[in-house]
């Protein structure tokens, strides 16, 4: 019987009794590592946060915080994990743990280990070898003006996926802002200079469930052709919820997130191509500001803990009408490259969705990449309406890509909508109402009234149909307000 091997806090653990649905959280706790907790079991609270060693762009290692409650432990075969217990000890606490304790950043302590792991990931991001925290902050990843940064460069948004239930956030923030650079003797800091473990082929079976990480794309496609009922996972941020909250089980799970053919970014004069298995965090870093509309999307897409695992291909593959990526990509007129053992085909994203959680993608096909045509529109924005500013499901999401001519006329308009129909849709009537007219208040008000009637919004626990329609109307006015010199009132 095959075993998985996972290195946890520097110690190798071999296990031949792992079912495909076994989460990293449950597996760790069964081994006495109970710092990580289950709070929500769907990736919203962060009480389960741990660190995973992932490849850095420079060939070294990045310590990345993830939700252990969503990640199948079989997917960590051959990988390295650090839990809160592995950061420090009672006699020699980690700098993050010491700062939280000194600042009163913990009361009941339930959520504190998760905070410590997310904070440690940002601590190591900032304090790269040979630089101060502030120096590293300038280049380690894109910075967002609406994020709160401390005097040490710490981006408080790194903790957006961690919800404390009792302490209050001021002492946690103060602890984060008090951190300096990692010490030269810090073993986790030193580990970053060495390569992360490479992904390896995995094939384990237990209790009627098989988990496979194919050795290459061709093998994966042959498996999907021969096993059309297989469940495909990448970041597992959606599948993990199905497993935890709905008790979903599957005889065969195929993991594709490490396939190199699905992880490329290509740029030429006609298009930008983004690999479907890149996590949102990786895509943001590798695109490096080339697509402003996606730059507006990324910080509003769930939390860093989710973005460190969730993939663009997965968000489109689930075909959820409230997935945040689809409205932005519809506005960008994106096309999907679908690949199977029989070859590859290209599909317009606007024609990809056929019904509620239904698409034209066949069971034997994978989304290989998302292709965004160039040039891009010169006015772009992503508006998300949700009950919480971050880490929440959208009630309405709107992607705008508008080409304004030198004379102030709308040469072309593309608007993608989410949350207002059974599928993500293009706001075709509103696009037509804008195109060819001057970009002024009269045009925008006329088009906004059309946008409010797009789709077939419904009432649910997130918002009423009337509220959704009103938010659509206001979204276009909000966009115009950002470009207008005169004061604009709704």
Q: How far apart are CA 205 and CA 16, in angstroms?
A: 8
Structure confidence at residue 390 as a pLDDT band (50, 70, 90): confident
Tell me the average pLDDT across 191-216. 95
Average confidence score pLDDT of the chain: 92
Each residue's pLDDT tens digit, 91-115: 999 999 999 999 999 989 999 999 9
| In the predicted structure, residue 137 carries a pLDDT above the cut 60 | no
| In the predicted structure, residue 145 carries a pLDDT above the cut 80 | no
Each residue's pLDDT tens digit, 374-387: 999 999 999 998 88
Tell me the average pLDDT across 336-346. 98
Write 219-223 long-range contacts (CB < 8 A, 24+).
220/254, 220/256, 220/259, 220/366, 221/339, 221/340, 221/341, 221/364, 221/366, 222/341, 223/254
CATH superfamily name and code, 4-191: Beta-grasp domain (3.10.20.30)
Thinking of the domain 379-483, which architecture would CATH place it in?
2-Layer Sandwich (3.30)
**C-alpha distance from residue 331 to each of 68, 118, 372, 424 (Å):** 34, 33, 10, 11
| In the predicted structure, residue 143 carries a pLDDT above the cut 80 | no
| In the predicted structure, residue 458 carries a pLDDT above the cut 90 | no
| In the predicted structure, residue 140 carries a pLDDT above the cut 70 | no
- Residue 489's pLDDT is 61
Q: Judge whether 317 and 330 are in contact, CB under 8 Å.
A: no
Structure confidence at residue 273 as a pLDDT band (50, 70, 90): very high
Portion of the chain with pLDDT greater than 90, in percent: 85
- Residue 91's pLDDT is 93
Structure confidence at residue 392 as a pLDDT band (50, 70, 90): confident
Q: Judge whether 61 and 6 are in contact, CB under 8 Å.
A: no
Domain boundaries, the chain: 4-191, 260-373, 379-483
For residue 412, give every residue at least 6 positions away whose Cβ sits within 8 Å of its Cβ, in sequence order, or none: 377, 402, 403, 431, 435
Structure confidence at residue 132 as a pLDDT band (50, 70, 90): very low
Q: Which segment of 164-168, 342-346, 449-453 scores lowest on mean pLDDT?
A: 164-168
CATH code assigned to 260-373: 3.30.465.10
Structure confidence at residue 486 as a pLDDT band (50, 70, 90): low
Domain 260-373 shares a fold with domain 379-483: no
Structure confidence at residue 414 as a pLDDT band (50, 70, 90): very high
Structure confidence at residue 351 as a pLDDT band (50, 70, 90): very high
Tell me the average pLDDT across 332-354. 98
- Residue 383's pLDDT is 95
Burial label, 324 (beta-carbon count in 10 A; 0-12, 13-18, 19+): buried
- Residue 166's pLDDT is 85
Q: Judge whether 286 and 265 are in contact, CB under 8 Å.
A: yes
- Residue 165's pLDDT is 75
The H or E element containing residue 477 is helix 465-483
| In the predicted structure, residue 421 carries a pLDDT above the cut 90 | yes
Structure confidence at residue 131 as a pLDDT band (50, 70, 90): very low
Structure confidence at residue 136 as a pLDDT band (50, 70, 90): very low
- Residue 107's pLDDT is 87
| In the predicted structure, residue 53 carries a pLDDT above the cut 90 | yes
């Amino acid at each position: 019987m095959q075993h998985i091997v996972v290195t946890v806090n520097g110690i190798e653990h071999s296990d031949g009794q792992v079912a495909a649905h076994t989460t990293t959280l449950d597996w760790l706790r069964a081994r006495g590592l109970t710092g990580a907790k289950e709070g929500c079991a769907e990736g919203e609270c962060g009480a389960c946060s741990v660190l995973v060693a992932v490849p850095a762009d420079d060939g070294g290692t990045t310590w990345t915080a993830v939700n252990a409650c969503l990640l199948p432990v079989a997917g960590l075969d051959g990988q390295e994990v650090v839990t809160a217990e592995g950061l420090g000890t009672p006699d020699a606490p980690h700098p993050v743990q010491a700062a939280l304790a000194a600042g009163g950043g913990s009361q009941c302590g339930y959520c504190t280990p998760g905070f410590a792991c997310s904070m440690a990931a940002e601590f190591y991001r900032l304090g790269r070898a040979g630089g101060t925290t502030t120096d590293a902050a300038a280049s380690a990843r894109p910075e967002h003006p609406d994020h709160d940064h401390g005097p040490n460069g710490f981006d408080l948004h790194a903790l957006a996926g961690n919800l404390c239930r009792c302490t209050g956030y001021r002492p946690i923030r103060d602890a984060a802002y008090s951190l300096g650079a990692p010490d030269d003797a810090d073993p986790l800091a030193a580990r970053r200079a060495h390569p992360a473990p490479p992904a390896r082929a995995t094939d384990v079976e237990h209790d009627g469930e098989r988990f496979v990480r194919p050795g290459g794309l061709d093998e994966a496609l042959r498996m999907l052709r021969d096993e059309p009922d297989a469940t495909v996972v990448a970041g597992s941020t959606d599948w993990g919820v199905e497993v935890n909250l709905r008790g979903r089980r599957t005889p065969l799970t195929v993991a594709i997130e490490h396939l190199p053919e699905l992880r490329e970014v290509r740029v030429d004069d006609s298009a930008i191509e983004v690999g479907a298995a890149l996590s949102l965090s990786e895509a943001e870093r590798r695109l490096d500001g080339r697509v402003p509309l996606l730059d507006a999307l990324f910080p509003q897409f769930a939390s860093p803990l989710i973005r460190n695992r969730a993939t663009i291909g997965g968000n489109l593959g689930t075909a959820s009408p409230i997935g945040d990526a689809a409205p932005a990509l519809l506005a960008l007129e994106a096309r999907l490259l679908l690949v199977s053992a029989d070859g590859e085909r290209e599909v317009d994203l606007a024609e990809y969705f056929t019904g509620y959680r239904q698409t034209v993608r066949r069971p034997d096909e994978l989304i290989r990449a998302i292709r965004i045509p160039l040039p891009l529109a010169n006015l772009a924005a992503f508006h998300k309406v949700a009950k919480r500013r971050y880490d929440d499901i959208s009630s309405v999401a709107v992607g705008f890509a508008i080409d304004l001519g030198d004379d102030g006329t709308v040469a072309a308009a593309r608007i993608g909508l989410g949350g207002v129909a059974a599928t993500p849709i293009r706001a075709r009537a509103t696009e037509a109402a804008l195109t060819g007219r001057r970009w002024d208040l009269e045009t925008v008000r006329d088009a906004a009234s059309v946008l409010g009637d797009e789709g077939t919004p419904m009432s649910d626990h997130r918002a009423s149909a009337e509220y959704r329609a009103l938010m659509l109307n206001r979204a276009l006015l909000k966009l115009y307000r950002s470009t207008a010199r005169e004061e604009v009132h709704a």
